[in-house]
Amino acid sequence: MALGTTLPFGLRDVKLIAYPDLLATAFGTTLVDLPNAQTFEFSETEEYTELRGDDKLVTSHGNGAQLDCSLESGGVSIDALKIINGGTIVETGVSPNQVKRYRKISTDQRPFFTVIGQSISDSGGDFHGIVYTARATGDIAYDRADAEFLIPSVDITGYPCRVAGMIAGVTVQDALYDFLQNETITSIVAPALDTPSAPTVTSLDDVTGTTSGGELIKVTGSGFATATAVTVGGTAATDFTVVNNNLLWLITPAHTAATVAVVVTNPSGASSSTPTPGVNQYIYV
């Protein structure tokens, strides 16, 4: 079955990932399982401010989306409880007399964490739902029943991601959630930022212009999201605007007649400065 027509069903797995600190500006790496997770659901909400005049609605303005989420599980481990509720864990002793103590005090804040839920699909692949920055915002009830430590449900709120960087070539900061559909079943992994690399220019939509400059050029490639400079033949572009990691616009500067290269620079380096036809070459005439 084609990837585009498959449907997700059946919650297969849920993992929690703690942020290293309360600032939540860098992803954690340790996956904590909710082996008996029964429900992972969320709804997107947004409050709107309305502008009215002359007894009619003129326009409305959204105040930013957030997520209202719910987790339902049983048999929650102390490690998972700490991720959801904060507090501290202290381990003492050695096997077979080891003791793990979880303690919550009145000044402990509930931390931010990442939730990833996995469902299987009718094609044999899977579907991942990722809420990057979640926090428990409702009551947490604890039960002891059937020889298990149960947390029947937890209400959480999803906030815009605070981590700066890119995942799969797309900026993740301010992301509320991602849906990932895989053709084959893929293990849940903690979110990880792309390894920074120097930009690459792959094409220009206009390859010639006058020596007076002032031409608007569309540049495609990669590594543009953090671009700090754009030059044409070694001269700074009159102006440039980054659209996304793979697209930017520039205005050519004045230059003597020559065959030159468009070069994009980011904190990791610069694209090739060797003019290559059909790639980064621009000709002043």
The pLDDT score that the predictor gives to residue 125 is 87
Give the number of residues written for the chain.
285
| 169 and 227 share one domain | no
Decide: residue 42, CB within 10 A, 0-12 exposed, 13-18 middle, 19+ buried: buried
Are residues 105 and 20 located together in one domain of the fold? yes
- Structurally, the chain folds into a number of domains equal to 2
Same domain, 259 and 126: no
Distance from C-alpha of 157 to C-alpha of 131, rounded to nearest angstrom:
9
Is 189 a member of any domain? no
Q: What is the mean pLDDT of each run of 10 residues along the chain (285 residues)?
A: 67 93 94 86 83 83 82 81 92 92 93 94 87 90 63 83 86 91 91 89 94 95 90 95 92 96 93 95 95
Same domain assignment for residues 21 and 156: yes
Nearest to 112 by CA among 44, 232, 19, 233: 19
Residues 181 and 9: beta-carbon distance below 8 Å: no
Show which of 147, 182, 217 is a domain's final residue.
Answer: 182
Among 152, 182, 212, where does a domain finish? Answer: 182
Are 80 and 132 contained in the same domain?
yes
Same domain, 257 and 120: no
CB neighbour list of residue 74: distance below 8 Å, 6 or more residues apart? 36, 38, 148, 150, 151, 152
Token code pair at residue 171: 């900026």
Residue that is last in its domain, among 182, 209, 225? 182
> Does any domain span residue 154?
yes
Per-residue H/E/C for the chain: CCHHHCCEEEEEEEEEEECCCCCCCCCCCCEEECCCCCEEEEEEEEEEEEEEECCEEEEEEEEEEEEEEEEECCCCCHHHHHHHHCCEEEEECCCCCCEEEEECCCCCCCCCEEEEEEEEECCCCEEEEEEEEEEEEEEECCEEECCEEECCCEEEEEECCCCCCEECCEECCCCCEEEEEECCCCCCCCCCCCCCCCCEEEEECCCEECCCCCCEEEEEEECCCCCCEEEECCEECCEEEEEECCEEEEECCCCCCEEEEEEEEECCEECCCCCCCCCCEEEEC
**What's residue 194's pLDDT?**
86
Say what the pLDDT of residue 1 is: 46
Report the CATH number that the domain containing residue 207 is assigned in CATH: 2.60.40.10
For 129, the domain range is 7-182
